[in-house]
Amino acid sequence: MLNCIVVSVGMMLIGLLVGIYAWISGADIVSINDQYVYGPTALINAIILTFFLSFIFGTFWTIVQWFGFIIYSRFRPIRLRYYEINQS
């Protein structure tokens, strides 16, 4: 879940830039159902598409990491260290 959040935050900036560029310049960048959209609709659709794609990429990366941890744990033990913070 954390991977999906991190990927979505990073990709949201790209989606905002693409949406703003399509809104201001009227470029053929954002398309829905093979129809290019312009103006504020391009900005909204770019954000929605970016959120959807970031969830897909984040989920894929989480699965890849999960398999990596399984393979790594076959050769070496995985330990979690916890350091308590002294509050004084």
pLDDT in tens, 44-83: 988 888 888 888 888 888 899 889 989 998 998 888 888 8
**What sign for the dihedral angle of Cα 25, 29, 30, 35?**
positive
**What's the farthest any 2 CA atoms get from each other in the chain?**
62
Q: What percent of the chain has pLDDT over 70?
A: 98
Q: What are the two backbone dihedrals, phi and then psi, of residue 39, each rounded to the nearest 5 degrees?
A: 70, -150
Contact criterion met (CB below 8 Å) for 16 and 47: yes
0.85 exceeded by pTM: no
The pLDDT of residue 57 is 87
